[in-house]
Amino acid sequence: MIQKLLRRKPPKDTLYNGNGSRPRSGLVQGESKLMSTFFGLAIALGLGTLVTLILVANNRALATRGKVFVQMADGTTQLAQEFDVNYRRPEIIKETAVRWMQLAFEWDNRIPGDDKAVDEGINFDRSNKRIPTKVYLASYLMEPGFRQEFLRLMASEVIPIDVMTGRRKSVLRFYSVSDPRQVAKNRWEVDIVATRIERSATQELGETRVNRTITLQSIPPVAPVFKDGDPEVWRKTLYELSKNGLMIVEIKPLNL
């Protein structure tokens, strides 16, 4: 009786065989390794498919993008990198704004680019009032309509008469020039803090604040086309101003 009580049957378990032998642990471990292998292959296949789809999309985008060819100095043609034709680098925008301020507010009776030539001024509206050539050149950076208004104001109210006789000159002192900030599509603003110092041959005549916010807009740049002989000096300056592809559409006082 005691022997029968001690002979207890093992519990039923699917891991036991019919003879009550030990669990089949080797078979379970083999199946686990096989499943891990299949799982790793599935992940690798999925990643490979994703990378392939990305490459196909990029190649399709490149295939539909326009190509630009340029002719080099030696006559050969090369493929140029495509870019937004209305994009302007910040340093170019700042340079254009500063250059305009210098032309508009640094006065003397000399032709730009030729210190030996005396500037007789330009009569722009068939009146007796003349303005320095520098100021006239500055107006070419401005929007039509706005340009004529600017010239009339400078001639009648801003520029002293004795500038054209050479008795008065002026120079700008820049204190700060802000980085361009985009205010609309293809349009930027630059804040300039400066003063205009006027002087005669023997003394300083005064210093005036000329703080301005200048709004510029991108336009197609003008490439200079020179034929036989050099153009006039002021025409060279005009081409240099136009090549940046920027036009001034608004100028307003900067209140600090």
Per residue in 84-121, pLDDT (tens digit) is 788 999 999 999 999 999 999 999 988 877 777 888 88
Residue 3 pLDDT > 60, yes or no? Answer: no
Residue 6 pLDDT > 60, yes or no? Answer: no
What is the per-residue pLDDT for 79? 58
Whole-model pTM over 0.75: no
What is the per-residue pLDDT for 13? 45
Name the E strands within the chain: 68-71, 77-80, 110-111, 114-118, 169-177, 181-184, 187-199, 204-209, 212-218, 246-253
Residue 15 pLDDT > 50, yes or no? Answer: no
Residue 227 pLDDT > 90, yes or no? Answer: no
Helix axes 90-105, 233-242, angle to 10 degrees: 140
Most confident of 52-66, 188-202, 214-228: 188-202
In contact, 177 and 192? CB cutoff 8 Å: yes
Residue 140 pLDDT > 70, yes or no? Answer: yes
In contact, 223 and 252? CB cutoff 8 Å: no
